[in-house]
Structure 1
């Protein structure tokens, strides 16, 4: 059975660069046999959080929210592609994530960060680790940190130069770690119902 992995990306900028990393991760996971799908917060375009999915009466959530809730519930694992805005997470990705809670429970998540500079979004990645753990996900220890993104991936999400070579070397461990936890979590959910 192929792992069903949702890859979340949250920049709303018109000249966003992180989509390169999102495309790279989706392609890399697919090449390994996973059923990977990009969920672009800008394309989903949820409003600023007023009411969580669970706060709508059954059948009354907006269609985009209902469709995304179903995708999250049926996924095996998640990858969060995060840029860094003033040492923190992107508001678009955080807003999309906060619309849900129980839908995330008992599945692994991995974090790939990026920035235009040399810190590669790692401060945002560290913050996301705490956020995702609080939301009921098991966050894998392997991460990807890409920066400067324009020197690592070209416009088509293809690795370029020495930074791209480094990303190519790092990706297998990242994907292996996520795959191991995905298999472990799926087996445990099949063996025993989660405690809540």
Structure 2
């Protein structure tokens, strides 16, 4: 059975560089036979969090929230593409994730970070690890970190230069780790209902 994976990207900037990494990850996972969808927070356009999806009466959530809740519930795993803003996480991606909670539970998540500099978004990746764990996901240990992103990936997400070669080398382990946890979670959910 094909793994259904959602790849989340959250920059709202006009000259978005991280979309290159999002396209690379989507294409890489598709190349492995996964059913992958890119969820771009800017395109979804959720308002700043006022009311979580679960706080709306049944059937009264805005259409964008309802549709995304269904996609999250139906997914087998997630990848979060995160840039680093002032040693922290992007507000657009955080805002999107905070609209949901139980929808995330009992599935694995992977983190791919990037930055314009040499630290490759490491601070954001560290911050996301704790956040995603708190939101009920199992965060895999393999990560991808790209920087400087403009030198490692072309505008259409193709690897280039030394950084691109490093990314191509790291991707199989990242994808294999995510696949292993997806399979483990599927088997466990089929064997035994989650405890809550």
1:183, distance to aligned residue in structure 2 (A): 0.3
Matches within 5 A, 1:57-76: 57-76=57-76
Matches within 5 A, 1:34-53: 34-53=34-53
Instruction: Specify the alignment match of 1:112 in structure 2.
Output: 112
Q: Secondary structure at the match of 1:83?
A: strand
Instruction: Specify the alignment match of 1:123 in structure 2.
Output: 123
1:157 and 2:157 aligned:
yes
Instruction: Specify the alignment match of 1:97 in structure 2.
Output: 97
Following TM superposition, the consecutive aligned residue runs of length 4 or more in structure 1 with deviations greater than 6 angstroms are none
1:189 and 2:189 aligned:
yes
1:176, distance to aligned residue in structure 2 (A): 0.2
Partners of 1:73 and 1:186 in 2: how far apart?
A: 13
Partners of 1:14 and 1:2 in 2: how far apart?
A: 34
Q: For the aligned residues, what is the CA RMSD? A: 0.3
Aligned residue pairs total: 196
1:29, distance to aligned residue in structure 2 (A): 0.2
Q: Secondary structure at the match of 2:86?
A: coil
Q: Secondary structure at the match of 1:30?
A: helix
Instruction: Specify the alignment match of 1:137 in structure 2.
Output: 137
1:190, distance to aligned residue in structure 2 (A): 0.6
1:35, distance to aligned residue in structure 2 (A): 0.4
Partners of 1:64 and 1:154 in 2: how far apart?
A: 31
Q: Secondary structure at the match of 1:169?
A: helix
Instruction: Specify the alignment match of 2:173 in structure 1.
Output: 173
Q: Deviations over 1:21-69 (max 9, x none)?
A: 0000000000001001100000000000000000000000000000000
Q: Secondary structure at the match of 2:89?
A: coil
1:143, distance to aligned residue in structure 2 (A): 0.1
Q: Deviations over 1:54-98 (max 9, x none)?
A: 000000000000000000000000000000000000000000000
Partners of 2:64 and 2:165 in 1: how far apart?
A: 38
Q: Secondary structure at the match of 1:84?
A: strand
1:18 and 2:10 aligned:
no
Instruction: Specify the alignment match of 1:148 in structure 2.
Output: 148
Partners of 2:67 and 2:49 in 1: how far apart?
A: 17
Q: Deviations over 1:154-195 (max 9, x none)?
A: 000000011100000000000000000000001100110000
Report the TM-score, using the length of structure 1 for normalisation: 1.00
Partners of 1:180 and 1:36 in 2: how far apart?
A: 16
